[in-house]
Amino acid sequence: MNHIKNIVVNILYLIQGMYVTILNFFRKKLTEQYPENRGKVFPYSRFRGTLVMFHNWKNQHRCTACGICQLNCPNGTIKIITKNELSEITGSCKRVLDKYIYDVGSCTFCSICTTNCPQNAITWETGFEHAIFNRSRLYKKLNKENSSLIKNGKI
């Protein structure tokens, strides 16, 4: 009797499993037809594609060149080069960001740098097409030319 009960129960399980698979059969497919739908692919905002530094319309960024991201990066991907700048108000020298060098080739996209930045100066964008012909172009300068620090922390 137990034997027959086992058979019936197992057939029920089989039918249950087949129901689940047929639902998947008719579900919308997840495959992206990449080069064709180039504009629409990867719409998720949390996707880590490229590291960028936020700049406002006055070409100002929020990076204070504190170097926390450089210290935290497990791969030594970030290199911060600073310069001294004379402040007009106080008349003293101040350390400001000169070049923010980021090497895509050694980045593992772990996002430790962005979570640890006290100013939220760097964020992720969704662009993912990093393929280039020359290795030296993997080194990117994230701050724009002639950019400066945002005054009073306002955007």
Partner 1 sequence: MFHFSIVLNCVDKFLHVYFTDSCVLFIDFFLVGIFILVFYAVLALVLIYLERKICAFFQCRLGPMRVGPFGIFQPVADMIKILLKEVIKINGVDVFLFRLAIYLVIIASMCTFGAIPFDRGLHVIDFNMGVFYFLSISSIGVVGILLAGWASNNKYTIIGAMRSGAQLISYELSCGLSLMIIVILSGSLKLSVIVEQQFYVWNIFRGGIPTIIAFIVYLISGHAETNRGPFDLPEAESELTAGYHTEYSGIQFGFFYLAEYLNMFIVAAIASTLFLGGWMPLHIIGWDLFNEIMDHIPPIIWLFSKIFVCIFLALWVRWTMPRLRIDQLLKLEWKILMPISLVNILFMFFWMMYL
**Residue 118 near residue 68 (C-beta atoms within 8 A):** yes
CB atoms < 10 A from the CB of 117, how many? 19
Of 134, 122, 148, 9, which is closest to residue 68 (Cα–Cα)? 122
Beta carbon nearer to partner 1, 37 or 90 = 37
Out of ligand SF4, partner 1, none, what residue 66 binds, judged by CB under 5 to 8 A for its kind, is ligand SF4
CB 123 within 8 A of CB 54: yes
User: Closer to ligand SF4 at the Cβ: 6 or 116?
Assistant: 116
Smallest gap from Cβ 2 to partner 1, in A, equals 12
Closest listed residue to residue 74, CA positions, set 105, 40, 98, 110:
110
> Which secondary structure element, helix H or strand E, spans residue 95, and what is its range?
strand 93-103
Residues that bind partner 1 (CB under 8 A): 3, 7, 14, 17-18, 20-22, 24-25, 27, 29-31, 33
Rule CB under 6 A: say whether 68 interacts with ligand SF4: yes
Q: What minimum distance in Å lies between the beta carbon of 19 and partner 1?
A: 9
Which residues of this protein are in contact with ligand SF4, per CB under 6 A? 63-69, 72-73, 75, 77-78, 80, 107-113, 117, 119, 121-122
